């Protein structure tokens, strides 16, 4: 029942993902959520995030920020990290993910998605057929609608962890 909400994998932070290994396995593009995935909600890019994107680009990755936020927020952040972007993406609809792949010139077989929410980020990526990576939210302060979703996510994550344990996916 919950499996469609399960990420392909999970980790603590964007900095824990083996992007070199993914590159060796043929991945060429990475789509990112912004708020609470890359930085605290509404924050500008930090020097560490900017350096992170430079490293991804030096590895040969195309990047695209995919956000349900409005253009001023997304465009400003994209400029800071020198990335393509898609605003008002309509996550969890797969349409935004498909458009972002088109922007990057990639396919579902060579694209990764990284985000912090199951019901928008991961579910949308899964619906689009993209390898989804769930990261822990950067900061606990969030809007009320997200706080409510987090409580539901907690239940799904219990089943996800049981699934991982049962199938030896630590």
At residue 45, the pLDDT reads 97
DSSP per-residue string spanning the chain? --GGG--SEEES-GGGS-HHHHHHTT--EEEE--BTTTBSTTPPPPHHHHHHHHHHHHTT-EEEEE-SS-HHHHHHHHHHHT-EEESS--TTSHHHHHHHHHHHT--GGGEEEEES-IIIIIHHHHHHT-EEEEE--S-S---HHHHHHHHHHHHHHHHHHHHHHHTT--
pLDDT band per the 50, 70, 90 thresholds, residue 140: low
pLDDT band per the 50, 70, 90 thresholds, residue 5: confident
| pTM metric for this prediction | 0.86
Distance CA 51, CA 25 (A): 23
Structure-model confidence comparison of residues 120 and 83, the more confident one: 83
Contact indicator for 31, 131 with CB cutoff of 8 Å: no
Question: Domains plus CATH for the chain?
Answer: 3-166 (3.40.50.1000)
At residue 71, the pLDDT reads 97
Q: Is the pLDDT of residue 1 over 60?
A: no
Q: Is the pLDDT of residue 87 over 80?
A: yes
At residue 144, the pLDDT reads 55
At residue 162, the pLDDT reads 80
Q: Which of 6-10, 43-47, 48-52, 81-85 has the lowest mean pLDDT?
A: 6-10
pLDDT band per the 50, 70, 90 thresholds, residue 142: low
Helix axes 71-81, 47-58, angle to 10 degrees: 70
At residue 154, the pLDDT reads 74
pLDDT band per the 50, 70, 90 thresholds, residue 85: very high
Mean of pLDDT values over 145-155: 68
């Amino acid at each position: 029942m919950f499996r469609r909400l399960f990420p392909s994998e999970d980790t603590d932070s964007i900095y824990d993902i083996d992007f070199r290994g993914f590159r060796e396995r043929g991945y060429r593009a990475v789509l990112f959520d912004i708020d609470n995935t890359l930085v605290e909600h509404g924050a500008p890019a930090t020097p560490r995030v900017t350096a992170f994107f430079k490293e991804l680009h030096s590895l040969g990755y195309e990047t695209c920020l995919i956000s349900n936020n409005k253009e001023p927020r997304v465009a400003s952040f994209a400029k800071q990290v020198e990335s393509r972007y898609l605003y008002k993406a309509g996550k969890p609809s797969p349409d935004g993910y498909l458009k972002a792949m088109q922007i990057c010139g990639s396919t579902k077989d060579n694209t990764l998605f990284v985000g912090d929410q199951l019901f928008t980020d991961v579910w949308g990526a899964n619906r689009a057929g993209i390898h989804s990576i769930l990261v822990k939210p950067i900061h606990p302060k969030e809007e009320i609608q997200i706080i409510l979703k987090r409580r539901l996510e907690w239940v799904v994550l219990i089943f996800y962890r049981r699934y991982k344990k049962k199938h030896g996916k630590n």
